[in-house]
Structure 1
């Protein structure tokens, strides 16, 4: 991937979103987000395997070449979790490409998430991780788009013992999303998550609770993001030119 990064087409053009973002950002009181370690809503954290055996997926073209304005969101420098595998070493070109992708995601989430979210920042060197601020508190966001050809969504399940509900939603074009509300960190704090397939990739978008407060974004509000055509443009690009390594199966479930 490093050797070919310079030959890849530019990321999707979100300039209209960036213009609206500028107006929206000036209307908000922006808060500084401190880096730190958070518990996040992920399949692994729940002991779930959200994807399983073969599925042909949907073949989709790469996003059209376009330019993108300068960065809006200063990355958060998060402290590594003890025992966690350090981020892979990347070429300068590949690091810049992934950072630009994070800026695209940040700009679009800033456009589409509720106005109660007053700040969003990418996490440096962690392409799938972001931090949002709402009500003066920081919450982890994850957007994972991993190559996983041949996998499919598992059954959408409600698990009362884990305070987890799942609703299946038709996204059109033969695509299905699973929309989750689920407890994380502690039984009384809920997170939101949407899981789907796109082309050859597994897609997970989640907002986790803080230590004491449920996620400020509902499952339905996350689904609104996933349905947006500009979000689909980002998926199209990341599916054709991955920004993450190929996924490995999650044990459990």
Structure 2
């Protein structure tokens, strides 16, 4: 593959998981390792792996019209404000009023319940605004969008009894790594588009779970953050992510989405992205 060096430059997990998935399919004929941890633990691992793929390039979601961020807050050494409240004017979405989907953390995994009360409230406020934007901009095939109580970046769309994990990240990064989610994986379909401001975005529909289903992700670099929005498949029914590359690229161009990305870039809700050494 001609993209080996690019894989090590990506500061996220999606590239690694795509390669691992391709390797898994290549070694499918080898005898399986015994399950030493039990089916419940294995299910937890599958969920974490699916979320790690979705975590991709970054992202959180967007809110509408006017974004007002707090200005009387201390800045970090890069000049970015931290800990600010993101307020969005406009009509709240009815789905934002729904209770969060509860997802039990796996052993050793932190959840939003572990956050200090003020930070948890800040993240929940952001999630509610993100839900409104995602509900408006995602196609109806994704269903009703709700936030989850596991991570600020994790949401869920539910349609006809099928739950699709949604990961929306805006993650600080000191430099634009050149997000390249198209890795030459067999069966992967990629498309690029230019967002307002000349930002280059890439959408990729990629086979996962031994190629049985696909996940779809759009990613780009904004300001000082890596951004990504990923829709994962519904594993139980072997249903691929019900969204296309074109639909996610159109969503990424929408001003409400970019407004929330801008606000999250100015007031991060996640730890800075770490570059993988050895590139």
Q: What is the TM-score with the length of structure 2 in the denominator?
A: 0.64
User: Is 1:169 the equivalent of 2:173?
Assistant: no
User: Is 1:194 the equivalent of 2:194?
Assistant: no
**Mean CA deviation greater in 118-127 or 136-145:** 118-127
Q: What is the TM-score with the length of structure 1 in the denominator?
A: 0.70
**Larger Rg: 1 or 2?**
2
Report if the CA contact (8 A) 2:173-2:225 is conserved: yes
Render the CA deviation track for 1:34-84: whole Å, top value 9, x for unaligned. Answer: xx9636666x549x9869xxxxxxxxxx93365565942311110113343
**Distance change in 2, residues 1:131/1:40 (3 Å):** farther
Give 3-state SS (helix, strand or coil) of 2:239's partner: coil
User: Is 1:248 the equivalent of 2:277?
Assistant: no
User: Is 1:139 the equivalent of 2:164?
Assistant: yes
**Count of matched residue pairs:** 205
**Mean CA deviation greater in 211-220 or 233-242:** 211-220
Report if the CA contact (8 A) 1:75-1:124 is conserved: yes
**Distance change in 2, residues 1:251/1:139 (3 Å):** farther
The aligned counterpart of 1:23 is none
**Distance change in 2, residues 1:215/1:99 (3 Å):** same
Give 3-state SS (helix, strand or coil) of 1:187's partner: coil
Q: For 1:232 and 1:217, locate their aligned partners in 2 and report how far apart those are by CA, in whole Å.
A: 19
> Which of 195, 202, 221 is the matching residue for 1:178?
202
The aligned counterpart of 2:99 is 74
Report if the CA contact (8 A) 1:129-1:141 is conserved: yes
Q: Kindly report the root-mean-square deviation, in angstroms, between the aligned alpha carbons of the 2 structures.
A: 3.0
Runs of 5+ unmatched residues, structure 2 = 1-42, 59-65, 70-87
**Distance change in 2, residues 1:85/1:72 (3 Å):** closer
Give 3-state SS (helix, strand or coil) of 2:67's partner: coil
**Distance change in 2, residues 1:150/1:50 (3 Å):** same
**Mean CA deviation greater in 202-211 or 149-158:** 149-158
Report if the CA contact (8 A) 1:40-1:209 is conserved: no
Give 3-state SS (helix, strand or coil) of 1:153's partner: coil
Post-superposition offset of 1:102: 0.5
Q: For 1:86 and 1:124, locate their aligned partners in 2 and report how far apart those are by CA, in whole Å.
A: 7
**Distance change in 2, residues 1:49/1:252 (3 Å):** farther
Q: For 1:147 and 1:167, locate their aligned partners in 2 and report how far apart those are by CA, in whole Å.
A: 24
Structure having the higher helix fraction is 2
**Distance change in 2, residues 1:45/1:67 (3 Å):** closer
Q: For 1:120 and 1:156, locate their aligned partners in 2 and report how far apart those are by CA, in whole Å.
A: 25
Post-superposition offset of 1:107: 1.0
Q: For 1:250 and 1:49, locate their aligned partners in 2 and report how far apart those are by CA, in whole Å.
A: 14
Runs of 5+ unmatched residues, structure 1 = 1-35, 52-61
Q: For 1:135 and 1:107, locate their aligned partners in 2 and report how far apart those are by CA, in whole Å.
A: 20
Render the CA deviation track for 1:101-149: whole Å, top value 9, x for unaligned. Answer: 1011111111111123331111114100001112321110000111102
